[in-house]
Amino acid sequence: MTASVSYADVEPGTELPAREFPVDRAALVRYAGASGDFNPIHWNERFAREVGLPDVIAHGMFTMAEAVRVVTDWVGDPGAVVDYGVRFTKPVVVPDDGVGAVIEVSGKVAVKLDDEARTVRVDLMVKSAGQKVLGMARVVVRLA
Amino acid sequence: MALDQSYVGRSYPPSRPYEVGREKIREFAEAIGDENPAYTDVEAARALGHADVIAPPTFVFAISFAATGDVIDDPELGLDYSRVVHGDQRFAYTRPVRAGDRLSVTSTIEAIRSMAGNDILDIRGEVRDADGEHVVTAYTKLVARAAEEA
């Protein structure tokens, strides 16, 4: 595993480059096919409303996949991720308006865990439409 | 109706092996819009020390979740899947999933709780390769919402 960020160069509070990830209906259809999750709440507006949702919502696992990119792009090697967990707190609502939604992700180093393994915990803040959509989004990553 | 606590600790037999293909990883990486070359370019992956292209961190969910079907569909457990939402998800990796892996999942019910009429089910999926070596453990929390009052 070869991360491009050195353990010695980060401190608690070090901020990772923030990113915005757009998501529209086409992206959800594509993710459904690639992941095998064809739950109609992710592509069928009529069905989503029938079960009480405001509109079609993104797969939670899609949001989880986008959020960790802030970490994998930072370190370069996705294989440096040792542990990754999230809580799905609010859905990302994706309207069929030609624009869709945006997932906003920022992250910072919360704690240096192990000087020998060179692992740090990064806490992610993940929002869409002004609301936090993932809670307890934490990534343990091994640095160089 | 609350789920039966006696199911805590129950393990299900290992799932049929899933063979991870390069093109499936590429398809998944494209679907999440991630252009990291470690997912699609064997040379780039090798330069990072991997034997083949690796999969994005959440790729393995499709495999681990399919295996939880044994738990979800267990008629004796009696989970109403139409009321189930995904609460939490966590992965603990020994190494990244890579092309060529043949992965099998052993699912275990870690906990069953009842809160305000909701059933909360914690499932641990141990993902191992063809040699039986640990690759990743997927921790999945499912919440079955309380049935509507008639």
Q: Does B56 touch chain A (CB under 8 A)?
A: yes
Residue range B5-20+58-144, CATH number: 3.10.129.10
Domain CATH for A72: 3.10.129.10
DSSP A42: G
Q: How does residue B150 score in pLDDT terms, banded at 50, 70 and 90? A: very low
| CB count in 10 Å sphere of residue B76 | 8
Which residues of chain B lie closer than 8 angstroms to A61, CB-CB? 58, 61, 86, 89
Angle between helices A25-35 and B22-31 (to 10 degrees): 160
Q: Is residue A1 assigned to a domain?
A: no
Interface test with chain A among B27, B36, B58, by most A beta carbons within 10 Å: B58
Count of domains forming chain A = 1
Q: Is residue A44 assigned to a domain?
A: no
Q: What is the pLDDT of residues A37-90, one digit of tens each?
A: 999 999 999 999 998 899 999 999 999 999 999 999 999 999 999 999 999 999
DSSP A110: E
Inform me whether the pLDDT recorded for B80 exceeds 90: no
Q: Is residue A126 assigned to a domain?
A: yes
Inform me whether the pLDDT recorded for A20 exceeds 90: yes
Among A2, A36, A88, beta carbon nearest to B86: A88
Q: How far apart are CA A122 and CA A86, in angstroms?
A: 12
Q: Is residue A29 assigned to a domain?
A: no
Only one residue has tokens 């699912």, namely B107
3-class DSSP state of A105 = strand
- Residue type present at position A3: A
- CA-based nearest residue in chain B for residue A76: B36
The domain segmentation of chain B, as residue ranges, is 5-20+58-144
Q: Is residue A82 assigned to a domain?
A: yes
Q: Does A61 touch chain B (CB under 8 A)?
A: yes
User: Around A144, how many Cα atoms within 13 Å sit in the side-chain half-sphere?
Assistant: 12
Cβ <8 Å between A2 and B33: no
Cβ <8 Å between A87 and B87: yes
Please give the full DSSP string across B57-121, using - where no structure is assigned.
TTTTHHHHHHHHHHHHT-TTT---GGGEEEEEEEEEESS--BTT-EEEEEEEEEEEEEETTEEEE
- CA-based nearest residue in chain B for residue A64: B58
Inform me whether the pLDDT recorded for B140 exceeds 50: yes
Mean pLDDT of chain A: 96
Among A27, A37, A81, beta carbon nearest to B57: A81
Prediction ipTM score: 0.96
**Domain enclosing residue A18, as ranges:** 7-22+59-142
Q: Is residue A33 assigned to a domain?
A: no
Q: Does A82 touch chain B (CB under 8 A)?
A: yes
Inform me whether the pLDDT recorded for A1 exceeds 60: no
Say if CB B118 and CB B145 are below 8 A apart. Answer: yes
Q: How does residue B124 score in pLDDT terms, banded at 50, 70 and 90? A: very high
Chain A 89-108, residues with CB within 8 Å of chain B CB atoms: none
Run of H or E residues at B18: strand B18-19
Chain B 25-54, residues with CB within 8 Å of chain A CB atoms: 27-28, 30-34, 36, 38-39, 47-50, 54
